[in-house]
Amino acid sequence: MNIILFGAPGAGKGTQSAMLVDKLGMVQISTGDLFRSAIKNSTELGLAAKSYMDRGDLVPDSIVIGMVEEVLKGLKGKSFILDGFPRTVAQAEALGKMLQVNSMSIGKAIFLEVPKEELLDRLTGRRVCQSCGAVYHIHSKPPKEAGVCDQCSGQVVQRNDDKEDVIATRLKTYEENTLPLRGFYRDNGKYVEVSGNREAGQVFEAIRSLLA
């Protein structure tokens, strides 16, 4: 089954996607990761996305939709997780068309619900490995050696858009543009809500049971 994972920044979409990839062999399509990798490689796509991301704004729909279209074409039948896409109703509508053209479908659009206080704590404390993308938290999951990734010894840093002033913009952008997707997916019968305000393993089990 193909799924959409959506929710606020810091809701745990990346963590849950990584677990779904690891334990169920699904393919993760993270638009945020794709943009970060494009920026790292200084591609045209990266250049186009960087200023929006640095401000905490959404990258324009036309750029994101074109990028996802390319990725979907190369999937070869594997079950996938859309992580961070769609983020606007226009993206959701475009996705519907892309899926139809590629004879694909979405089984569930899973909304990860997390209270704002908790989101703020997760985002301000989040640190990531610059090399492999492993995610840490300064209090709840620090790397064994400060600033060094447990998995690959890469440098563990704060994402530019996890700085406090940018977080405020990201949360506002989310409320205005992405929250309306709940109504969109309720209307087409795919919507499911899962509490993301608990230990990652428990959230994963809740998601896994929805896929059975």
- Chain positions contacting ligand AMP, by CB under 6 A: 9, 31-32, 35, 52-53, 56-59, 64, 84-87, 91, 161, 170
Min CB(143)–ligand AMP separation in Å? 20
Catalytic residue among 13, 36, 108, 122: 13
Q: How far is the CB of 65 from ligand AMP (least distance, A)?
A: 9
> H or E stretch including 204?
helix 200-211
Name the residue nearer to ligand AMP (CB basis): 1 or 89: 89
Alpha carbons within 13 angstroms on the beta-carbon side of residue 63 total 17
Beta bridge partners of 113: 195
Q: Does 186 participate in catalysis according to the annotation?
A: no
Rounded to the nearest whole angstrom, what is the least distance from the CB of residue 212 to ligand AMP in the complex? 27
Residue 31 · residue 68 · CB < 8 Å: yes
Q: Contacts for 127-131 with beta carbons within 8 Å, 24 or more apart?
A: 127/156, 127/157, 127/158, 128/156, 128/157, 128/158, 128/159, 129/154, 129/155, 129/156, 130/154, 130/155, 130/156, 130/157, 131/155
> Which is the catalytic residue, given 108, 122, 126, 127?
126
CB-nearer residue toward ligand AMP: 2 or 146: 2
Residue of 159, 163, 186, 208 marked catalytic = 159
Among this protein's residues, is 122 annotated catalytic? no
As a whole number of angstroms, the distance between CA 187 and CA 110 comes to 14
Q: Which is nearer to ligand AMP, 57 or 69 (CB)?
A: 57
Asked about 36 being catalytic, the answer comes back as no
Contact 4, 88 (CB under 8 A): no
159 is catalytic: yes
Given the complex with ligand AMP, which of 24 and 52 has the nearer CB atom? 52
Q: Which residues are catalytic?
A: 13, 87, 126, 159, 170
